[in-house]
Amino acid sequence: MMESPKDKYIREHTTPLSEAFDWIERQTHLRTNFPQMLAGPVQGQFLKMLVEISGARDVLEIGCFTGYSAACLALGLPEGGHVDSLEIDDELEDTIREGWERAGVSDSITLHIGDALDTLARFASEDRRFDFVYIDANKREYSDYYEAVMPLLRRGGFIVADDVMMGGKVYGPKPATDKQTLGLARFNDVVASDPRVEVVLMPVGEGISLIRKK
Ligand SMILES: C[S@@+](CC[C@H](N)C(=O)[O-])C[C@H]1O[C@@H](n2cnc3c(N)ncnc32)[C@H](O)[C@@H]1O
């Protein structure tokens, strides 16, 4: 897809990531069918800063794809911090690992191949806890990820959920009928009415919700 003048301007006025991230982006275009799923340099820098600002040490990502956003999250970690990244597609593993090696973040990320809901159930049985969770996987399942993640999130911890507006489809003007939009609309409603959290839905990209557990 062609970059719009607005997106070009935003990118040119955002601190760039290293050359390793350009490599991951190129490989994603060469090796995958949906390269537009990748976070990109602006959102990547934003995620890195959010981890830095929050001071999170234990970070969880749901939806690794080719590893771009996981590497950005890892760059924001303090010394000794860690990212666990979940991905269902095992064919992505070689690309993911090579990109992380090039970005110098291999030692601070663990990749878990498998269905995220199974991995989250295992984390619950192991009493794992996280300070920061990035949700960016199957839009039909966002509410399921949310409910599975809430018990694992420390008080004061953050959930960042990507693509929550689906190009405006969640708010009309036509009522949505596709399962992805309906899944996101349900997620947005659940979060907005959940007394356990505060949320701000930001018009960044396709919509990012920043959720804080009280
Ligand atoms: C939008 S992409 C993630 C993009 C990535 N976070 C980035 O910004 O570079 C969504 C990913 O979630 C994965 N996914 C979908 N359903 C999943 C599930 N149930 N468990 C784990 N991963 C899943 C897909 O295979 C895909 O790679």
**Would you state the pLDDT for residue 7?**
92
Per-residue pLDDT of the chain (214 residues), as tens digits, is 688 999 999 999 999 999 999 999 999 999 999 999 999 999 999 999 999 999 999 999 999 999 999 999 999 999 999 999 999 999 999 999 999 999 999 999 999 999 999 999 999 999 999 999 999 999 999 999 999 999 999 999 999 999 999 888 999 888 888 999 999 999 999 999 999 999 999 998 889 999 999 9
**Would you state the pLDDT for residue 19?**
98
**Would you state the pLDDT for residue 1?**
67
**Does ligand 1 come within 6 angstroms of the Cβ of 108?**
no
175-182: long-range contacts (C-beta < 8 A, 24 or more apart)?
179/140, 180/139, 180/140, 181/139, 182/140
Cα(133) to centroid of ligand 1, in Å? 14
**Would you state the pLDDT for residue 172?**
83
**Does ligand 1 come within 6 angstroms of the Cβ of 163?**
no
Closest CA relative to residue 137, chosen from 122, 128, 153, 148: 148
**Would you state the pLDDT for residue 173?**
84
Which H or E run contains 133?
strand 130-135
Ligand 1 atom nearest residue 141's Cα: 19
Count structural domains, the chain: 1
Q: Omega into 41 within 30° of 0, i.e. cis?
A: no
Mutational test site, ligand 1, from 123, 138, 163, max ligand atoms within 8 Å of CB:
138
**Would you state the pLDDT for residue 149?**
98
Cα(38) to centroid of ligand 1, in Å? 10
Please give the torsion angle defined by the CA atoms of residues 39, 45, 51 and 52, in that order, rounded to the nearest 10 degrees.
Answer: 170
Ligand 1 atom nearest residue 37's Cα: 1
- Using CA positions, which residue lies closest to atom 14 of ligand 1? 137
Give the residue numbers spanning the domain of 94. Answer: 5-213
What's the CATH code of the domain at 72? Answer: 3.40.50.150
Ligand 1 atom nearest residue 63's Cα: 12
Cα(115) to centroid of ligand 1, in Å? 10
- Using CA positions, which residue lies closest to atom 26 of ligand 1? 65
